Amino acid sequence: MNTIEQFFATKNIRVTAMRLLIYRFLADKQVAVTLSDIEKAFEKADRTTLYRTIKTFEEKCIVHQIDDGTGVTKYALCEGDCNCEINNDLHLHFHCNLCNETVCLTDHKIPQVKVPKGFVAEDVNLVVKGVCNKCSS
Amino acid sequence: MNTIEQFFATKNIRVTAMRLLIYRFLADKQVAVTLSDIEKAFEKADRTTLYRTIKTFEEKCIVHQIDDGTGVTKYALCEGDCNCEINNDLHLHFHCNLCNETVCLTDHKIPQVKVPKGFVAEDVNLVVKGVCNKCSS
DNA sequence: AAAAACAATGCAACAGAAGTGCATTGTTAT
DNA sequence: ATAACAATGCACTTCTGTTGCATTGTTTTT
DSSP A112: P
CA distance B96 to chain A (A): 9
Question: Rounded to whole angstroms, what are the CA distances from B49 to A2, B52, B56, B115?
Answer: 57, 5, 10, 40
Supply the pLDDT for residue A87. 57
Q: Bridge partners of B130? A: A121, B96
pLDDT in single tens digits along all 137 residues of chain A = 468 999 999 999 999 999 999 999 999 998 999 999 999 999 999 999 999 999 999 999 999 999 998 989 999 999 877 777 655 667 899 999 999 999 999 888 888 888 999 999 988 899 999 999 999 98
∠ CA B106-B110-B36, rounded to 5°: 55
- Which residues 46-85 of chain B have a CB under 7 Å from nucleic chain C? 47-48, 51-52, 55, 72-73
Optimal mutation site among B113, B128, B134, B135, interface A, most CBs of chain A within 10 A: B128
Contact B44, B38 (CB under 8 A): no
pLDDT (0 to 100) of residue B120: 94
- Would you state the pLDDT for residue B127? 92
CB B10, CB B58: distance < 8 Å: no
The answer to whether B12 CB sits below 7 Å from nucleic acid chain D is no
pLDDT of residue A32: 97
Instruction: Give phi and psi for B119, each to the nearest 5.
Output: -95, 140
Q: How far is it, in rounded angstroms, from Cα B36 to Cα B83?
A: 26
- Which nucleotide is closest to B39, CA to C1'? C17
Is B3-136 assigned to CATH 1.10.10.10?
Answer: yes
Give the strand pairing for B63-66 and B74-77: antiparallel
Q: Could you tell me if B25 and B35 are in contact, meaning their C-beta atoms sit under 8 angstroms apart? A: no
Query: Dihedral, CA atoms, B14, B16, B21, B26, nearest 10 degrees?
Result: -10
Tell me which residue in A67, A120, A136 faces B67 most closely, judged by beta carbons.
Answer: A67
A120-131 and A102-109 as β-strands: parallel, antiparallel, unpaired? unpaired
CA B7 to chain centre: 17
Task: List all residues of chain A from 88 to 107 with a beta carbon under 8 Å from chain B.
Answer: 92, 94, 97, 105, 107
Q: Determine whether the interchain pair A128/B124 forms a contact, defined as Cβ–Cβ distance below 8 Å.
A: yes
pTM comes to: 0.89
Q: Are strands A120-131 and A91-96 parallel, antiparallel or unpaired?
A: parallel
Residues 6+ apart with CB under 8 A from B84: B61, B64, B78
Choose among B111, B119, B129: nearest Cβ to A133: B119
A71 touches chain B (CB under 8 A): yes
Q: Per-residue pLDDT for B12 more than 60?
A: yes
- 8-state DSSP, A42: T
Predicted confidence at residue B2, as pLDDT, reads 64
pLDDT at B106: 86
3-state DSSP call for residue B9? helix
Q: Which tens digit of pLDDT belongs to each residue from B72-91?
A: 999 999 987 777 665 556 78
Mean pLDDT throughout B53-66?
A: 94
> Rounded to an integer, what distance in angstroms lies between the CA atom of residue A51 and that of residue B14?
45
> Given this model, what pLDDT does residue A42 score?
96
Per DSSP, the three-state class of B75 is strand
Determine the pLDDT at residue A90. 77
Picking from A71, A119, A130, the nearest residue to B94 by CB comes out as A119
